[in-house]
Structure 1
Amino acid sequence: MDATTATPSLRRHSLDAVLGHAWDAEAFTASDVMAHVGLTRSTTIDVLDELAGRGLLTEMPNARAVGEYSKGRPARRFAFRPDAGLVVGVDAGRGHVTATVADLRGTPLATSRLTVDPERDDPGRRRRAAEATVEATLKRARRARGDIVALSVGVPAPVDRAGRSPAHHDGFWERMNPGFVDTFASWSPVVRVENDASLAAVAERARGAAVGCDDFVALLAGERFGAGVWVDGRLLRGAHGGAGETVAFDRVDGVGSALGLAPRCVDAARAAIAAGILPSDSALSRADPKTLDAKTVLDLAAAGDTGALAVAREVGGALAGVAGMFGSLFDVGRVIVSGAIASGAEPIIAAAVAALPRALDLPAPDIVASPLGADIVSIGAVAAAVDAARAHALDLEAFALPHDHGRA
């Protein structure tokens, strides 16, 4: 490698390393950066000055001014500027669109939610709904489109590396992802579109039940199963974005379909009521099958109702099959039950854990509940947008040096 290519590469490496440290740190000095990154003092100071010139750092009052330094030259102190730009996370679900505007560290500034008719999921209507929701959220945050540096969208469809979904036999995937990567190209210099379960995996890795875990599956488990697969420290997608696609469960004994835990609970409970096989002391036996929902079944199970616990054991057997399949295919250490149903899923998880050791030869994955709740896809969308902003910050015109603006 000659000097003309080596110097820019080394410079970029130094900028990336220092920015990476600054993004996660509180106020810091050049010595702090040197200890974490391993650059010389002169290079560190030069890089810090450039990042400040790009608007990504701000120089703080020096250490003497804040009482941390008494002798010698006071150390210059810097801090990352999370307000230097905006990221946007969009959960474009089957029956809703939720948008969150956040700063560069992912701290939410405003959120808006729009309910959409799932029976009228025309591609144009979905695009307009997503745009309107983002626009409303920007207005709530009192910010403008020009402040956005990265935007991420989660959709209930496979998504490839380019942000596009493959053709589906009834057009469902194309309707769920009607070219969002193009829709928002004029809104943000970086647009990342992902499968919703993949964003659940991003959320779990960032701040959920998979922090520090490199091999896990985030299982959106409400109405239908959706799986975000994280192996060897990275998100798996596949050639068409279909890694973890759950149509395969149609052919798995004991699972039978991609139906999620909620309808399985209701179906099993209704079948037990109709067959008259529930214990006479079970409150579930007296429930109205027509109005029965999964929350009622799981609340009763959590309270120790014998009939509801029997239902949980039945559904837990199916969850064990799902976890066993992912454990066998991907050798993950953890399967995380994610989404709104996670908060009440402990009786099902306990039953699945009891059944799982018989399911596979590899060490069984742990099955745990997510702490992130119903907003997990939105949380993941914001985290993915932050990741995208971090990866591309030095290439964005918003963070160019003053003399480079307009040439990016």
Structure 2
Amino acid sequence: MSDISADLGTGRASVGAVLDYAWTAGEFTATDAMASTALTRSTAIDALATLVDAEILRELPNARAAGAYRAGRPARRFALSADLGVVAGIDAGDTHLAVTIADPLETTLAELRSDIDPDETPAERRAIILDRLQQALAAAGRTRDDLLAICVGVAAPVNRHGASPPHPEGFWERTNPGLTDALRGWAPVVEVKNDAALAAVAEGAVGAAAGCSDYVALLAGERFGGGVVIDGHLLHGAHGGVGEGVVFEHIIGVGAAFGLVPSLHHQLLAAVESGEVDAGSPVGRLVDADRIDPRAVLELASAGDADALLVTGQLGEVLARVVGVLGSMYDPTHVIICGGVAESIEPVLAAARAVLPEQLHLPAPELLASTLGAEVVSLGAVATARRAAREHAVPLLAEQRLSRG
């Protein structure tokens, strides 16, 4: 329940109950609120009046005025105010930056996506993120004063205070360059989260794990990293390190935390060098490019090209070992491959499924490709910011307005 009663005395508990109901109710009447909250009619009406006075709820034209009522006394109808503010979801990846501005319910107002130089200093990266956030707000016709909550996803473990531990090569400090401090004061709630954890939030909310209580969302593009949900709870750890991919550097047959994109590159190079794949074949000729396009290999595999199937089959064996470790550690029912690579990864998944049961003693998890594409972290960040707005920022806004009144 919203904590609106915290500073206003226990008499406001009914206000919090009605506000919680309003978030998912759409348009509703006092009778609807009573039925959902078990409040008496007079208490529900008092709570509704309080929230209307605070401009958190708006009263709609009654059913007769709307042309939908013919006889008797028309019911008063309510809905959340259309202008409570906005939330920001930021996907601050190693080489990309995506900023989404959305309302607290369901509408996206602006999206900005751009590449980012992985060699930028922490200070430069921090400045770029703040600048893009400002640009996205302007594109949505909003300002900093409208922000209710911000959630940023970064490619690093993040503790409960939004800080990342030191990395031997400085990678985590660069990908999370003090963002909690940098964004302090921009919104009532600022959260910095691991990107794979946010991918897990998105998959549970609108993706392949909807309705599932035990799953791993595996970001598998450039590096492996897992967001782990067990018994309906997103796991975190003391330093935010649950699902961190460095463990795969110690797994025989995997040997690195590199994701499927660089692994596919290495598998193809090795296959051409060993003679398993003819350098003049459609797949072999891809090696001549500066960077092998994984989609080209995967599309050839989907079309039945024997060389492409050989390479994707070898990569599938690697993925099966990765998923086997996750299955043995967490016992999920699903492992979902997330990120832009997911849209064409089915040939690798088919090969992995064939050998996955050999990798663990427990029943093998179902291996799925995400349908959320490259936006999966952004979707999770927006969902997390919306939850923060619902549970903290809007109740705080109501308290402030009521206190002034």
Instruction: Decide whether aligned partners of structure 1 residues 173 and 405 sit closer, same or farther in structure 2, where only a CA change above 3 A counts.
Output: farther
Distance 1:54 1:350, change over 3 A: farther
Residue 260 to residue 139, structure 1, CA distance change in 2 (3 Å): same
Q: Give runs of aligned pairs for residues 49-60 of structure 1, distance below 5 A.
A: 49-60=49-60
Residue 278 (structure 1) shift? 3.2
C-alpha change, 1:241 and 1:379, in structure 2 (3 Å) is same
Secondary structure of the residue that 1:157 maps to in structure 2? coil
Report the TM-score when normalising by structure 1: 0.92
**CA contact 2:54–2:402 (8 Å) conserved in 1:** no
Do the aligned partners of 2:188 and 2:393 also contact (CA within 8 Å) in 1? no
Q: Distance in 1 between matches of 2:403 and 2:7?
A: 19
In structure 2, what is the equivalent of residue 32 of structure 1? 32
**Distance apart, 1:282 and its partner CA:** 5.8
1:99 matched residue in structure 2: 99
Measured in 2, the distance between the counterparts of 1:11 and 1:69 equals 34
CA RMSD of aligned residues (A): 2.3
Indicate the residue corresponding to 1:141 in structure 2: 140
For 2:354, the equivalent position in structure 1 comes to 354
- Aligned-partner SS, 1:119: coil
* Distance in 1 between residues matched to 2:388 and 2:125, nearest whole Å: 24
Corresponding residue for residue 157 of structure 1: 156
Number of residue pairs aligned between Structure 1 and Structure 2: 400
* Structure 2 residues without counterparts, runs of 5 or longer: none
Q: Which moved more, 1:30-39 or 1:142-151?
A: 30-39
Q: What is the aligned partner in structure 2 of residue 374 from structure 1?
A: 374
Which amino acid is 2:359 matched to?
A
Matched residue, 2:179 = 180
Q: 1:393 to 1:117 in 2, by over 3 A?
A: closer
Contact 1:91-1:154 at 8 Å conserved across structures: yes
The alpha-carbon deviation at position 184 of structure 1 amounts to 0.8
- Deviation per CA, 1:155-191: give whole Å up to 9, x if none: 1110011111112222221222122111111211110
| Contact persistence 1:99–1:378 (CA under 8 A) | yes
Partner of 2:392: 392
Q: Which residue identity is paired with 1:198?
A: A
Q: Secondary structure at the match of 2:94?
A: coil
Question: How many angstroms does 1:125 deviate by?
Answer: 1.0
Change (3 A) 1:108 1:279: same
Q: Distance in 1 between matches of 2:365 and 2:11?
A: 43
What CA deviation, in whole Å up to 9, does each residue of 1:112-157 have, x standing for no partner? Answer: 234332112x221111111100111111111111000101111111
Contact 2:97 2:129 in 1 (8 A): yes
Given the alignment of the two structures, is residue 41 of structure 1 paired with residue 41 of structure 2, yes or no? Answer: yes
Contact kept, 8 Å, 2:151 with 2:384, in 1: the verdict is yes
Shift of 1:82: 4.5
Q: CA 1:25/1:116 → structure 2, altered by over 3 Å: closer, same or farther?
A: same
Separation in structure 2 between the aligned mates of residue 174 and residue 366 of structure 1, nearest angstrom = 35
CA distance in 2, matches of 1:334, 1:376: 17
Gaps of 5+ in 1: none
Residue pair 1:336, 1:367 contacting (<8 A) in 2 also: yes
- 1:200 corresponds to: 199
Q: Determine the C-alpha separation between the residues in 2 that align with 1:31 and 1:336.
A: 42
Aligned to 1:90: 90
Q: Which amino acid aligns with 1:402?
A: R
Amino acid across the alignment from 2:104:
L
Q: Is residue 2:334 matched to residue 1:334?
A: yes
Amino acid at match of 1:372: L
| AA aligned opposite 2:318 | A
In structure 2, distance between residues paired with 1:332 and 1:135: 40
TM-score computed with the length of structure 2 as normaliser: 0.92
Residues 18 and 33, structure 1, Cα contact 8 Å, conserved in 2: yes
State the structure with bigger RCO (CA 8 A, min sep 6), 1 or 2. 2
Code of the residue aligned with 1:329 in structure 2: it is: M
Q: Partners in 1 of 2:296 and 2:66 — Cα distance?
A: 56
12 and 269 in structure 1: CA distance in 2 versus 1, 3 angstrom threshold: farther
Secondary structure in 2 matching 1:336: strand
Q: Which shifted more, 145-154 or 230-239?
A: 230-239
Letter in 1 for 2:34: M
Distance change in 2, residues 1:12/1:357 (3 Å): farther
Contact 1:88/1:99, CA 8 A, preserved across alignment: yes
Aligned-residue offset at 1:404:
1.4
